Amino acid sequence: MDQNTRFLTETVLRISGVDPRKCMKCGKCSGTCPNYDAMEYHPHQFVSMVENGLIEQLMNSNAVYLCLGCMACVERCPRHVAPGKLVGALAQLKLRKQDGNHKGGNDIAAMADEKVPQQLLMAAMRKYRK
């Protein structure tokens, strides 16, 4: 695994908080996915591909955007692997890479004024701190 692939894999794992090595490849996550037929890669494949460092391949797929975010796969997983969190982390990494939007807490605070809702600030802090 080259250095860029290792960096991308570590970033996805850090953002998601998921350990793909816990996956026992049972496929229950994919069996419960309501958007299974539309996705090029299915939840269990996301886990396996992240584990094997195929981050670029996943980021070049539209399957990242086809996840509904319902987290049915997370509920169904007997090992608490949370494939939906991996998909969300990949989508976030893809957006960061496209837009170069690596912002820190000070950057967000500088953009805020008294009219910005607190929920927006907290959501931005959660999104950009990882």
pTM of the entire structure?
0.72
Q: What is the DSSP string of 25-87?
A: ---HHHHH-TTGGG-SS-HHHHHHHHHTT-HHHHHTSTHHHH-----HHHHH-TT---HHHHH
User: What is the pLDDT at residue 48?
Assistant: 95
Q: What is the pLDDT of residues 80-114, one digit of tens each?
A: 899 999 998 998 888 877 765 555 666 766 767 77
**What fold characterizes domain 3-99?**
Fumarate Reductase Iron-sulfur Protein; Chain B, domain 2 (1.10.1060)
Domain chopping of the chain, boundaries: 3-99, 102-130
Is 1 exposed, middle or buried, given 0-12, 13-18 or 19+ CB atoms closer than 10 A? exposed
Longest dimension (CA), the chain: 50
Percentage of the chain with pLDDT > 70?
83
Triad 18, 36, 87: Cα angle to 5°: 25
Amino acid at the residue 75: E
Can you tell me which residue has the tokens 């049915």?
A: 72
